[in-house]
Amino acid sequence: MLKLKIEGLSCSIKNKEILKDITVSFQQGEMAAVLGRNGAGKTTFIRCIANLIAHQGSIVLEEDGKKLGRSSIAYLPQLEKITSSLTTFETILLGLTKTLSWKVSEAQLAKVSQVIRELKLDAFANTPVRSLSGGQKQLVFLAQSFVSEPRLLLLDEPTSALDVRHQLVVMETVHRYCKKRNAVALYVIHDLMLASRFSDAVLFLHNGMAHAFDTPDAVLNSETIDPIYQIESLIEKNSRGLTTMTPIKPL
Ligand SMILES: Nc1ncnc2c1ncn2[C@@H]1O[C@H](COP(=O)(O)OP(=O)(O)OP(=O)(O)O)[C@@H](O)[C@H]1O
């Protein structure tokens, strides 16, 4: 059984305490949404797990008691400006850098082609990524994070530039991936409805603390959301049993 155990995670940047004593755990097959206001500490949390920022506390990814290393983790940062002239195919291939040598094997090429097909990127395979739209770029980098077949996916706002259809494609792909590969995905997102549709667990960060950590149904309600975001919202179940949220006004 794969587990990600985070105990007493704290992080300070330039003497400012950003994350405070966070203890949460996740297990294989789970997709977990990391939610919270701007500046709550979501990106810092994800980057600490990716071991990109110095932190205190313990973060362990293990399977049946055996620790897994960094090669089992993929991190997708927020969308950034791209200057390289690499094509979609080459960019995704770079996701295999941990295993690439001077010679690219047939198996590695096949993996890249498979991910390209899965995310329907065939039409852009030979296009330089920098000339793609924001949403297309986001899909390419998502493909890059899938290609090494990680057991832990850390995705920072993976749908921020995507139209509604592509948001669903991405979230369904991550969901399928987690179940098929017994992986864990933590994703930062601002869209509470997507979080509700595609999560087994929700972590609400507030002022750097784990304010709530539970199932989406237990957490995504006005009692939790309104004080955090300082809004009035209307949260209901629709006729298909899905949660809907209508933001009414800021408080
Ligand atoms: N390199 C840095 N130097 C100084 N302060 C930082 C740095 N990185 C993050 N912070 C601070 O840490 C806090 C949390 O930032 P973080 O980016 O983790 O928030 P977030 O929840 O991801 O926000 P958003 O939803 O706006 O992306 C903010 O107050 C931010 O100013």
Q: Are 225 and 233 in contact (CB under 8 A)?
A: yes
Instruction: Specify whether 88 is located in the same domain as 63.
Output: no
Q: Which of 105, 127, 148 is the last residue of a domain?
A: 148
Instruction: Specify whether 142 is located in the same domain as 156.
Output: no
DSSP assignment letter at 241:
S
Q: How far apart are CA 145 and CA 155, in angstroms?
A: 9
Encoding tokens for residue 162?
Answer: 């995507």
**Is 41 near ligand 1, meaning CB less than 6 Å away?**
yes
Quote the pLDDT of residue 133.
87
Instruction: Specify whether 3 is located in the same domain as 113.
Output: no
Quote the pLDDT of residue 100.
65
Quote the pLDDT of residue 161.
85
Q: How far apart are CA 140 and CA 131, in angstroms?
A: 12
187 inside domain: yes
Instruction: Specify whether 87 is located in the same domain as 187.
Output: no
Instruction: Specify whether 127 is located in the same domain as 12.
Output: no
Q: How far apart are CA 222 and CA 198, in angstroms?
A: 19
Instruction: Specify whether 180 is located in the same domain as 141.
Output: no
Q: Ligand 1 mean position to 229 CA, how many Å?
A: 17
Nearest to 29 by CA among 179, 217, 251, 156: 179
Instruction: Specify whether 161 is located in the same domain as 144.
Output: no
Instruction: Specify whether 158 is located in the same domain as 64.
Output: yes
Question: Along the chain (251 residues), what's the average pLDDT of each consecutive run of 10 residues?
Answer: 97 95 96 97 97 96 92 88 87 83 83 91 94 88 91 94 89 92 96 94 96 95 93 93 92 91
Quote the pLDDT of residue 11.
97
161 inside domain: yes
Instruction: Specify whether 24 is located in the same domain as 129.
Output: no
Q: How far apart are CA 150 and CA 114, in angstroms?
A: 15
Q: Is 181 exposed, middle or buried (0-12, 13-18, 19+ CB in 10 A)?
A: middle
Structural domain tally of the chain? 2
**Is 14 near ligand 1, meaning CB less than 6 Å away?**
yes
250 inside domain: no
231 inside domain: no
**Is 44 near ligand 1, meaning CB less than 6 Å away?**
yes
The answer to whether ipTM exceeds 0.95 is: yes
Structural domain for 143, as ranges? 83-148
236 inside domain: no
Q: Which of 101, 130, 148 is the last residue of a domain?
A: 148
Q: Are 181 and 74 in contact (CB under 8 A)?
A: no
DSSP assignment letter at 94:
G
Quote the pLDDT of residue 136.
87
Instruction: Specify whether 61 is located in the same domain as 94.
Output: no
**Is 39 near ligand 1, meaning CB less than 6 Å away?**
yes
Quote the pLDDT of residue 229.
94
26 inside domain: yes
